[in-house]
A and B are shown apart, each in its own frame.
Chain A
């Protein structure tokens, strides 16, 4: 028997059918932790077809035990990529299927970070790329230090909130009145726990406040004045609004106020929402997203970021998504949840993201970008806008890019 080195979330879909064979209801959609799937059959019959649904570099060894527990040589033929036929001998009562994934241990942990999809003007490109790389290094070091996926995504997003080049925390865009109102969400894929804040003012790190909502309340989202009250009760310091406003943000706001302002042009060049997805060494999955929202938005406007399923979703069984882009469009199609639906139907991390982004563009005319990860540590970065600054860390390798199709790598320990 090969050694088992895989984590929770590894999915095996088993269907058994043949004349007279009773399918075991316990088999369909089994998720298992330890790596064994033990099936007891009620009626010994000749042929058992087993279809599995895992990544290609997973191998299956199937052992058949007789009633007395002694292993027999299995008569297994692989009829196609996913289908195994086992011609059992008489009277088997216990079928053990073991999966081994030799390379899974190397795929985890993984962290993917984005700094917003949109159009980044030339003079801001370099700092935009530098910021996501610094954030991914910061978050990844948490993972390497046995930190959880949640610790990693919160760390990465905190670093981006503190970096004034992004539309989150410091550097947030201004609403119509020239004020800062921020949204943020975190989600923990283990129990589907989540915390979010919407239209919150005067806190330096909304993503951390969102995490407090998740950890310290029985609610999933707090808004506006209620969120500020909660922050005070948690001892989160209130910061002056001025401390979150940059010259660049103010300049863009003023430009957009002009009667003849071109709204499309004004949304361009805004630094985007920031976000991260991660899988830790235990196989737990998390996501986090944070934003100052839309340039010159109405007071109290809440976009996709604070809305679970839209601005982020994480589920240990399926994966995690953090999106960015046109908030209202993302909400209309509940983009994060949509991508995970496609993955549940068997699409890869790239295909699921591409299909959902194309649907969003087609159905509601919105552009955006996402970072996606699955329980096996597969990840993707896809966007329908011109650019998205992103970076990922896995197996001591730093990956990064800006324009569609770009994918640079270097050793993570090499200097910037």
Chain B
């Protein structure tokens, strides 16, 4: 299946939820710069897989987003991270769940994909594997912001979790060879199962989803797009999100096809997203927004 595209395409998001105004600018700036970096990497000959890993690493390192350096604490006061990466060419995938003290779980997920016969490692086993491939552990306090510690102190008084865990980050890309890839990473509620938080298949799309993880899992959101193969990208996302809204609740998703079509849609209040195609940078935050600017290199 060989397609040659005139331009690679990348779309990134940092979670679909009611992003507060004081975080809005940082969120939008973050996704814009990340999308730009991922696009340039592909222009220089990098693969879609490299681009999505690089983008999600950048988003993980950005403390505005929950995914890693702004991660939500669990009830034990620890940081637990999930991540998935998938290669649309071979359907190879790597995922980690509940890893602690790792700076960039998406890279660990890629190592699972490329260095083991497995797809997913969890908990202690995932951390042991990280050690075995030389990925360093970092102390928890570098992964937790002051803001999160305060929030957690407040929430401690409640028996049930009050914080839903926001700020999943993700990226999808198609490179000049027509290969698609996706990657998603979060410190929030788990949704990193294959087919839910992300899925990539050269025959259809690469998708990365966000919002309430449990709802995404119930409808295996990323995999829904398989059915929508005949549709244009924006319609496919809308139909799938509407289905999810009907059966559970709202969410957000980005997708890209091997022919370079892309979409970023959400049925939550906001989702910060950015896309680059043919030297044009698109981005938005509120529903229906689609701003564009020429790419600054």
Contact = CB atoms under 8 A, between A and B. Distances in A.
B237 interface: no
Interface of B: 74, 80, 90-93, 95, 97-98, 116-126, 128-129, 160-161, 189-190, 193-196, 199, 213-214, 217-220, 223, 226-227, 247-248
A225 B125 CA distance: 11
B125 A298 contact: yes
Contacts of B74: 226
Contact of A301 (B98, B121, B189): B121
Contacts of A327: 119
A328 B218 contact: no
Contacts of A192: 218-219, 247-248
Nearest to B193: A307
Contacts of B97: 198, 221, 223, 302
A300 to B, nearest CB: 1
Contacts of B116: 298
A220 B195 contact: no
A284 B242 CA distance: 24
Contact of A220 (B120, B128, B218): B218
Interface in A289-325: 294, 297-303, 306-310, 313
B190 A219 contact: yes
A280 B160 CA distance: 33
B231 to A, nearest CB: 14
27 contacts: A192-B219, A192-B248, A220-B213, A221-B193, A223-B122, A224-B124, A224-B125, A226-B98, A298-B116, A300-B121, A301-B118, A301-B125, A302-B95, A303-B119, A308-B193, A308-B195, A310-B193, A331-B93, A331-B119, A331-B120, A331-B194, A332-B91, A332-B92, A334-B194, A334-B199, A334-B223, A341-B227
Nearest to A297: B118
Interface residues of A, number: 41
Given A224-B124, A328-B117, A308 B217 contact: yes
Contacts of B121: 298, 300-302
Contacts of A310: 193-195
Given A221-B193, A308-B218, A299 B119 contact: no
A294 B125 CA distance: 14
A337 B213 CA distance: 18
B214 A220 contact: yes
A344 B226 CA distance: 12
Nearest to B74: A226
